[in-house]
Structure 1
């Protein structure tokens, strides 16, 4: 694995762990929506994830199809360009439903790089 890809994957993992830390005391989607500090920090972390993903080598992305890279980049683009239209309920669902699997996939890719 190229050194840059490894670095970007590490940035992605750190941002995922940041999201987990930011959300850990948030009990419900209602709490999330009303907590501006938390959802602002999480949106920023999703931007970092998307930006790091967007910088991964194209060959790396094409050879690791277990991850829906386009969706990750698409979320970043939506947050950046449609900031005031972001549906925080969808962000909450993404955190709860998609982020754990994405984290595991990123961790597997990082483990493969150390073999």
Structure 2
């Protein structure tokens, strides 16, 4: 974890990109079982990796940013990452689907708020955000909502 909040932008953007992909992969599924078995578990497994990625990058966020946003579920996001990483085959697919359906959309909004406020108050470098916008990696992020 960094102590310099100016370094928080890229991990937050990685989190946002991961969340956007999770929502894309789960779009249109009505049941956890359908999501689990879609394309021989391809979407489910990709989503698990992305959920883990969200948690990994949440751990890179500075303590000062975490303090400014105490309602963000920092501990839960990291905890899910640890559970996926250490008990991959024991993950409850219905729990994962519930998280994707009910907790990822508000998490996306919360990440967007942190980025937008950080850019607005000068804590984050707008040039760094513009460079990310031009990267192929961050192609699922709606940067217009952030800047």
Same fold (TM over 0.5): yes
RMSD (Å), alpha carbons:
1.3
- CA deviation string 1:37-57 (max 9, x = no partner): 010000010011001001111
Q: Which residue of 1 aligns with 2:98?
A: 93
User: What TM-score comes out, normalization by structure 2 length?
Assistant: 0.74
How many Å apart are 1:28 and its aligned residue? 2.0
Structure 2 counterpart of 1:23: 26
Larger gyration radius, structure 1 or structure 2: 2
Which residue in the other structure is 2:65 paired with?
Answer: 60
What are the within-5 Å matches in structure 2 for residues 30-41 of structure 1? 30-35=33-38, 36-41=41-46
Segments of 4+ in structure 1 off by > 6 A?
A: none
- Give the CA deviation at 1:30: 1.6
Within the candidate set 63, 88, 93, 1:83 is matched to: 88
State the alpha-carbon separation in 1 of the partners of residues 29 and 101 from structure 2: 12
Tell me, yes or no, if the aligned pair for 2:56 and 2:78 is still in contact at 8 Å: yes
Q: What does residue range 45-56 of structure 1 map to in structure 2 within 5 Å?
A: 45-56=50-61
Unaligned residue ranges in structure 1 (runs of 5+): none
* Alignment length (residue pairs): 115
Q: Which runs of 5+ in 2 are unaligned?
A: 121-147
Asked if the contact 1:66–1:105 (Cα under 8 Å) also holds between the matched residues in 2, the reply is: no
State the TM-score, normalizing by the size of structure 1: 0.94
